Amino acid sequence: MKHNRIFAVLLLILFVLAGVSCGNKPTEEHIFPPTNTPSPTSTSTPTPVITPTLKPTPTNTPTPTITPTETPTPTETPTPTPDYEALGYTRSRLTGLWIPKDSADQRPYAVMINNIHYAYPQCSISRASVVYECMEEYGITRLMCLYETFNSSDKICTRIGSIRSSRPYFAELSKDFDTILVHFGGLDTNPATRPLPDNIDGINGKIGLGCFYRDNTLSSPHNVFLDLSSLSYVLKNTKTYRTALKTNAVFPFTYREEEEELKNGKKAGKVTLKYSSYAQPYFVFNEETGTYDRYQFGSQHIDVANNEPFTFKNIIVMFANQTVQKTSNDYQQIDLGTKSAGSGYYICNGLYVPITWDRNKGTTRFYDASGKELVLNPGKTFISVFPNRNTKGVVFE
């Protein structure tokens, strides 16, 4: 038993030694429980909270509004009106416009112009200051163009035409402006009852024959033309006729110095003159130019000499008694005697008003609705002598 106890003790010792050799040696901390010396409380310096300095949002300095300095609109310096009289000009008796005084003092020329479609194109008609249109035989019309300004260097007036014959009523009308009538035959009138006006006849006349010529590229009798500058030269040197205008000449109408609108006028944007089934020219008011453009035979009436349209500021329609003379040619007769009178229209600026006319003083005079002598706006004038049996043939639109 004793040996068993010794053996047990030995085993216990071996067990203890075995534990030590295995590194399970207790540390001092295990042997001496540590004095719980409290770790010094670290006074942690608080990290300062950096409050960011707020950069002030820059206030948008408003861009100053640049108010542009208004450049004052320059006041147009009015163009001074020339002193026309000091420059040697005077107002035309035919148009009321300024023309050289030496031209205004001369008698105008009334030139007979062919006006059928076959005779186209016409030359230098746009240069006329006043134009008459009257019925002829067979329903055709003829023009009488009044010229007052031209010179020897004016090439347009070296070819006027084509020239045709006259009629007694044209001879009467030519006296209204103290003109010299220029024609190529056909002035059949009785000097005992109707004194002939001063006239130049290219067929039967004795002077100025060299001023007429034929263009052989055209068919006769529609190929006769007039060199008006040459005729003027001939007349001044032969002294056959008086060339200076009568100082006391009284014309059919006068002109305003400044334009005026027609009072109580009715619409006349288009004016058609239905002379016959063949001749129905018409005029259209041009707003841009303030004048009437003429049309006939389906197209605008153009002057081939300068390609300018046939235009007028004023249109006068005078209704007259017209009859047919029973001859082989059915010549027209228009009553323009000293006791003749009638009604009509004055047309200007897209409007028309009624007028009257008479020849009690030997020449035609026109009157407005109040009976005062007619005063026109300045510019070229077209006068239609229209059959009074056909007043509805004048159509306004």
pLDDT tens digits for range 260-315: 999 999 999 999 999 999 999 999 999 999 999 999 999 999 999 999 999 999 99
Q: What is the mean pLDDT of residues 353-370?
A: 94
As a whole number of angstroms, the distance between CA 117 and CA 221 comes to 13
The answer to whether residue 316 is domain-embedded is yes
Provide the number of structural domains found in the chain.
1
Q: What torsion, rounded to 10 degrees, do the Cα atoms 21, 23, 25, 29 define?
A: 180
The answer to whether residue 126 is domain-embedded is yes
Pairing label, strands 141-147, 98-100: unpaired
pTM: 0.79
The answer to whether residue 194 is domain-embedded is yes
The answer to whether residue 240 is domain-embedded is yes
Region for 74 from its dihedrals, namely left if φ exceeds 0, alpha if ψ lies in -120 to 50, beta otherwise: beta
Residue 247 domain boundaries: 89-396
As a whole number of angstroms, the distance between CA 194 and CA 172 comes to 8
Q: Are 133 and 115 in contact (CB under 8 A)?
A: yes
pLDDT tens per residue, range 214-272: 999 999 999 999 998 888 888 888 888 999 999 888 899 999 999 999 999 999 999 99
The enclosing domain of 202 has a CATH number of 3.50.90.10
The answer to whether residue 83 is domain-embedded is no
As a whole number of angstroms, the distance between CA 170 and CA 132 comes to 9
The answer to whether residue 82 is domain-embedded is no
Residue 254 CB burial class (10 angstroms; 0-12, 13-18, ≥19): middle
Alpha helices in the chain (DSSP H): 2-21, 28-31, 101-104, 168-174, 228-238
Of 208, 201, 206, nearest in space to 187 by CA: 201
